[in-house]
């Protein structure tokens, strides 16, 4: 016996009504069982993503909200250099030149932070150019800081 062409159709209004009526019965029965697992899975996925982002930026997970946007990597580098400058300033063997350097470098880092934040609202080409300029300045500051720390 050959099938009717109407039977070969995919989703018909009658089938849709049947699916909705079945869902009205099944979903309230299954949701209390499945929902806690889904919430836990979503939380675990978010935590794993946060750990990945923090590892990629080189910062602790609890400081991750400080570094957002397209310049997050640069902001993380700025924070790292700032921490290194604080260690240099507190070091017992820090000379007067080192303390002057840390003061000047800290002022430069504040300007670079402002530049990165301002670049977030720029068109892509200008933002990339600004980020490249900031990255070059950061590389210079990092090398000077490491030299003064004796690394």
- C-alpha–C-alpha distance, residues 57 and 96, integer Å: 32
- C-alpha–C-alpha distance, residues 131 and 134, integer Å: 5
Task: Report whether pLDDT(1) > 90.
Answer: no
Task: Report whether pLDDT(2) > 80.
Answer: no
- C-alpha–C-alpha distance, residues 109 and 145, integer Å: 12
Q: Range with the lowest mean pLDDT among 43-52, 69-78, 87-96, 136-145?
A: 87-96
Return the pLDDT at 5. Answer: 59
Q: Where is pLDDT greater, at 149 or 49?
A: 49
pTM: 0.71
- Tell me, what DSSP letter sits at residue 42? H
- C-alpha–C-alpha distance, residues 67 and 47, integer Å: 16
Return the pLDDT at 148. Answer: 85
Task: Report whether pLDDT(53) > 90.
Answer: yes
Average pLDDT across the chain, whole number: 90
Three-class DSSP category at 131: helix
Task: Report whether pLDDT(3) > 70.
Answer: no
By the 10 Å C-beta count (0-12 exposed, 13-18 middle, 19+ buried), 16 is classed as exposed
Neighbours of 67 (CB within 10 A): 20
């Amino acid at each position: 016996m050959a099938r009717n062409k109407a039977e070969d159709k995919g989703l018909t209004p009658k089938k849709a009504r049947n699916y909705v009526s079945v869902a009205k019965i099944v979903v309230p029965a299954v949701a209390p069982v499945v929902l806690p697992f889904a919430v836990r899975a979503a939380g675990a996925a978010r935590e794993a993503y946060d750990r990945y982002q923090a590892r990629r930026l080189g910062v602790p997970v609890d400081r991750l909200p400080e570094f957002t946007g397209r310049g997050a990597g640069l902001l993380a580098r700025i924070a790292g250099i700032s921490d290194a400058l604080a260690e240099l300033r507190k070091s017992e063997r820090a000379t007067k030149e080192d303390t002057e350097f840390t003061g000047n470098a800290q002022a430069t880092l504040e300007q670079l932070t402002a530049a990165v934040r301002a670049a977030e609202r720029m068109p892509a080409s200008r933002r990339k150019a600004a980020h490249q300029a900031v990255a070059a300045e950061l590389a210079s500051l990092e090398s000077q800081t490491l030299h003064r720390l004796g690394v």
